[in-house]
Amino acid sequence: MNDYLVLLYYHYTLIEDLEAFRDTHQAFCDNHHLLGRIYVAREGINGTLSGLKEDVKAYMEHIERDPRFKGIVFKVDEHHQHAFKKMHVRVKKELVNLSLEEDINPKKLTGEYVEPKDFYQRMLDPNTLVLDARNDYEHQVGHFRDSIKPNVRNFRDLPNWIKENSELLKGKKILTYCTGGIRCEKLSGWLKAEGYDDVGQLKGGIVTYGKDEVAKGQLWDGQCYVFDERLKVPINQVEHVIVGRDHYDGTPCERQLNCSNPECNKQILASIENEAKHLGGCSPECSRHPRNRYVASHQLTPEEVETRLNY
Ligand SMILES: [Zn+2]
């Protein structure tokens, strides 16, 4: 039974009384048994949370009653349980960080909002360049077919990558996309500030695109990485192409895990068999790490560890 809802949302707006806002927000969430992560900053709110349907609906109504959040859009998924373990409301300097000397205010400058059905059509234009605004561990789980994945670890490194690769973007119609849309608001605004004039952003992000009745998630390969215990959600309603590759043997794979070395935690894809063979380590060093979580949770003896790694 899907008695729960999972929410994803953001809204750029001015929040001045940050500490007080955080405290009352946390109390409201605790009172309604909601679990998740909410970031608040002077520039707005960005959250993802789960709870029983009536509690989540109470939360949405609570937010919508506040005039600062007029026009907020909630992406809503049904689920059979909570998708988080704790509830955190945190104050941040910025909702998303591009490490710019002059930060972009998306309420003043941002790319054109492109509806899913139009985004699908525009992707078919050979003069369009589709840019993934997410990180590499998200891209490896799924992405738009033939989209460009800048070779960066963090969102804040994107501007430098784009400056160094400007010849790729020159003269192109640029489309950007991310999970729920928040990162594109700033990235597309920054691209416009850099002088690119034909810049569109996927309105509502990938999760909205997957539910659109016309676009039906088409041209999306793999699944969409999400920042909760579900790990990924399906997007393409028409066909399912597996793009993920097993970290150890390169075979098609969609099973996500973190490297078992608690000091590494790198996100990789691997089958149960290969995880067992390598004790969940992303490298020989991580496999043999003294605090390897796989070894601890499976209570393997030193002999068993050696036998597996030497097999
Ligand atoms: Zn590792």
On the question of pLDDT at 311 being above 80, the answer is no
Q: Is 178 a catalytic residue?
A: yes
| Cβ proximity of 182 and 46 under 8 Å | yes
Q: Report the pLDDT value the prediction gives residue 15, as an integer from 0 to 100.
A: 97
231 Cα–ligand 1 center, Å: 19
113-167 confidence digits (pLDDT tens) = 999 999 999 999 999 999 999 988 899 999 999 999 988 878 889 999 999 999 9
Residue 200 CA to residue 111 CA, distance in Å, equals 5
187 Cα–ligand 1 center, Å: 30
231-271 confidence digits (pLDDT tens) = 999 999 999 999 999 999 999 999 999 999 999 999 999 99
| Cβ proximity of 74 and 60 under 8 Å | yes
Strands 173-177 and 128-132: parallel
124 Cα–ligand 1 center, Å: 38
Q: Report the pLDDT value the prediction gives residue 224, as an integer from 0 to 100.
A: 97
Say which residues have a Cβ less than 8 Å from residue 31's Cβ, sequence separation at least 6.
none
270-285 confidence digits (pLDDT tens) = 999 999 999 999 999 9
Alpha helices in the chain (DSSP H): 18-31, 53-64, 116-123, 136-139, 158-164, 166-169, 182-193, 205-209, 272-277, 284-287, 293-297, 302-310
- What SS3 state is found at 119? helix
| Tokens encoding 122 | 């525009």
> 178, 184, 253, 282: which one is catalytic?
178
300 Cα–ligand 1 center, Å: 19
CA distances, 80 to each of 1, 2, 83, 164 (Å) = 6, 4, 9, 45
Q: What is the CA radius of gyration of the chain?
A: 21
**Residue carrying the six token digits 């952003």:** 201
| Cβ proximity of 54 and 4 under 8 Å | no
**Averaged pLDDT of the chain:** 95
- What SS3 state is found at 186? helix
| Cβ proximity of 80 and 32 under 8 Å | no
HSE at residue 101, side-chain half, CA atoms within 13 A, is 2
260 Cα–ligand 1 center, Å: 7
Q: What is the pTM of this model?
A: 0.89
| Tokens encoding 260 | 């078992």
185-221 confidence digits (pLDDT tens) = 999 999 999 999 999 999 999 999 999 999 999 999 9
